[in-house]
Chain A
Amino acid sequence: MKPLLLLAGMLCLPGAINAAGEPAAPAPAPAESPSPAVSPSPTATPESGETTDASVAARASALEVAGAFSNDGFKTRDGHWIGPIRAKKPKVVQVNLYAGNQYWFIVAASDGAKKLAVSIHDEKGEPVEFHPYRDQGRAAAGFSPEISGPYYVRIEEEEGTPAVFCLLYSYK
């Protein structure tokens, strides 16, 4: 089994191993349509307070990436965070993660955001090792915590004009 894992790591295939020697989260693949189970619930839109075309577009884009992960058994949480973002003004949200689970944090934005970054930090704010993904105005970070507890997810628009972002996550 270990040689197989090694080969997978070399090829960086889904199911590969991460730097800690643990199974890595799978790679995003061409997305299928988002899961019908996910509602348009605006329960986590504290900054916008309302659903707009831009927020719908941002969420649809994030769900497209999440849809790819669901092919590998990841469940997408219905909750999400939508709000305005502008270049070099990062946003941070606290999350609570469980050791042993695998997570993908996915951020997408409406037109205007050219380049997004997402990173994961421990409870002291120090960056943790994660699996990065970035593509055409979307970004994601894959992480398998070894310690249960609070973490922080930081998102930043590195290039672009003011936009609306949507952050959500998947786990398995």
Chain B
Amino acid sequence: MRLRTCAVVLLLLGGGMGLRGETPEPPATPAAAVEPVPAPVSLTREELDSAARIDSLTIPSPGELMAALAKEARPNWQGQYRQPIPTTFASRAQIAMNIGGLIADGYIALEAADSQQVKNIGKDIITLAKSLAVSENVIARGNSIFEFAENNEWTALKEELEATQNEVKLALEEQRDGDLVWLVTLGGWVRGTEVVSGWIAGNYTPQAAKLLRQPAVVDLIRSRIRRLPERMQSDPLLKEVLEKIDEIERLVSFPEGATPTQEQVKELRDLTGQLVARIAEK
């Protein structure tokens, strides 16, 4: 504790943090002259209300949640695999959600450092992307995934997986099918949350359970899905998805400082698990 206090004092003297009004000295950078940074101010009500909320920045990647869990514990990622899902679906909305789910599966395989599984998932992503006719650039990304997996380049693979997901979304937007973009996001987020809550439910610690706090994520996904065209929202699957999302929101929207109980984490695991299974149902 004493050392920790000393370290804080020394760092404040030598390193500086953004809150200080003085001239902080940032980390050593041999190449760059680092300039002083003024103390930040509180955001205004207007800034809070008008803050941008963007799919590819505001929604964390499944890899971020898994990285956070990996700091709390050593999950058995291979134990979180699921049976291969069908790769033919009649509805484009369902295909989009399953592509998102497969991207999350890819992150699980990466955490397990399982190159064969990464390749299997990459193949399924391409197959599904073909059925949305957005495969041209995705195939190129898929080839990179195979190559990186072959060489066990895990960091590059993580970035490539997200790039593949964005390539699918970009292609959807170019095809004027931008409505489906948020369904890809939804599929990935639900599958990632299922896996992480599943592991925490079976290996409960309060600290790990607190990771599941993501109120703004659910709120944003749900609000975007509610903007989908009426025709799409009348799809029975999407109706079920929206109902489940409302229930899931209750479990990930606990107050700052609160800790979900093990029972609540199990409920979240079950709800997200049911949703993932329903999305993959032919």
B8 within 8 A of partner (CB): yes
Quick one: which of B47, B60, B170 contacts A41, CB cutoff 8 A?
B170
Distance in angstroms from B237 CB to nearest chain A CB is: 24
Which residue on chain B has the smallest CB distance to residue A115? B35
Instruction: Known contacts A12-B14, A12-B15, A101-B71; decide if A96 and B217 are in contact (CB<8 Å).
Output: yes
Of residues 24 to 80 in A, which have CB atoms within 8 Å of B's CB atoms?
24, 26-30, 35-39, 41-44, 46, 70, 73, 75-80
Instruction: Evaluate contact between B163 and A38: CB separation under 8 angstroms.
Output: yes
Inter-chain contacts of A169 with B (CB < 8 A): 57
Instruction: Evaluate contact between B59 and A96: CB separation under 8 angstroms.
Output: yes
Of residues 25 to 73 in B, which have CB atoms within 8 Å of A's CB atoms?
25-45, 47-48, 50-61, 63-65, 67-68, 71-72
Of residues 73 to 112 in A, which have CB atoms within 8 Å of B's CB atoms?
73, 75-81, 90-101
Inter-chain contacts of A101 with B (CB < 8 A): 64, 67-68, 71
Instruction: Evaluate contact between A10 and B10: CB separation under 8 angstroms.
Output: yes
Instruction: Known contacts A9-B7, A10-B10, A125-B43; decide if A79 and B213 are in contact (CB<8 Å).
Output: no
Q: How far is B169's CA from A147's CA once the two chains are assembled, in angstroms?
A: 30
Residue count of chain A within 8 Å CB distance of chain B: 85
B156 within 8 A of partner (CB): yes
Instruction: Evaluate contact between A16 and B15: CB separation under 8 angstroms.
Output: yes
Instruction: Evaluate contact between A26 and B27: CB separation under 8 angstroms.
Output: yes
Q: How far is B42's CA from A121's CA once the two chains are assembled, in angstroms?
A: 7
Instruction: Evaluate contact between B54 and A93: CB separation under 8 angstroms.
Output: yes
Instruction: Evaluate contact between B27 and A121: CB separation under 8 angstroms.
Output: no
Q: Which of A29, A36, A39, A80 has the most CB of B within 10 A?
A: A39
Distance in angstroms from A125 CB to nearest chain B CB is: 3
Instruction: Known contacts A12-B27, A42-B170, A127-B40; decide if A18 and B72 are in contact (CB<8 Å).
Output: no
Instruction: Evaluate contact between B59 and A148: CB separation under 8 angstroms.
Output: no
Q: Which of B14, B34, B64 has the most CB of A within 10 A?
A: B64
Inter-chain contacts of B72 with A (CB < 8 A): 100
Q: How far is B19's CA from A129's CA once the two chains are assembled, in angstroms?
A: 6
B-contact 0/1 string along A1-25, CB 8 Å cutoff: 0110110011111101111110010
Instruction: Known contacts A93-B51, A127-B40; decide if A148 and B210 are in contact (CB<8 Å).
Output: yes
Quick one: which of A16, A30, A73, A152 contacts B11, CB cutoff 8 A?
A16
Inter-chain contacts of A117 with B (CB < 8 A): 37-38, 40
B262 within 8 A of partner (CB): no
Q: How far is B173's CA from A37's CA once the two chains are assembled, in angstroms?
A: 21
B-contact 0/1 string along A119-142, CB 8 Å cutoff: 111010111111111111001010
Inter-chain contacts of B156 with A (CB < 8 A): 35-37
Instruction: Evaluate contact between A93 and B163: CB separation under 8 angstroms.
Output: no
Q: How far is B162's CA from A150's CA once the two chains are assembled, in angstroms?
A: 21
Q: How far is B29's CA from A26's CA once the two chains are assembled, in angstroms?
A: 10
Inter-chain contacts of B16 with A (CB < 8 A): 132
Q: How far is B44's CA from A41's CA once the two chains are assembled, in angstroms?
A: 31
Q: How far is B166's CA from A76's CA once the two chains are assembled, in angstroms?
A: 14
Inter-chain contacts of B42 with A (CB < 8 A): 121, 125-127
Distance in angstroms from A13 CB to nearest chain B CB is: 6
Instruction: Evaluate contact between A19 and B11: CB separation under 8 angstroms.
Output: yes
Distance in angstroms from A85 CB to nearest chain B CB is: 12
Chain A residues near B (Cβ < 8 Å) = 2-3, 5-6, 9-14, 16-21, 24, 26-30, 35-39, 41-44, 46, 70, 73, 75-81, 90-101, 115, 117, 119-121, 123, 125-136, 139, 141, 147-150, 152, 154, 158, 167-169, 171-172
Q: What are 10 sample pairs from A and B whose C-beta atoms fall under 8 A apart?
A: A2-B3, A36-B156, A39-B163, A41-B166, A44-B57, A79-B166, A123-B216, A131-B17, A132-B24, A135-B35
Chain B residues near A (Cβ < 8 Å) = 3-4, 6-8, 10-12, 14-19, 24-45, 47-48, 50-61, 63-65, 67-68, 71-72, 141, 144, 148, 155-160, 162-163, 165-167, 169-170, 173, 181, 210-217, 256-257
Given contacts A10-B11, A18-B11, A98-B64, 12 further A-B contacts (CB under 8 A): A13-B27, A28-B27, A35-B159, A78-B56, A81-B57, A117-B38, A120-B18, A121-B40, A127-B18, A134-B36, A149-B216, A152-B43
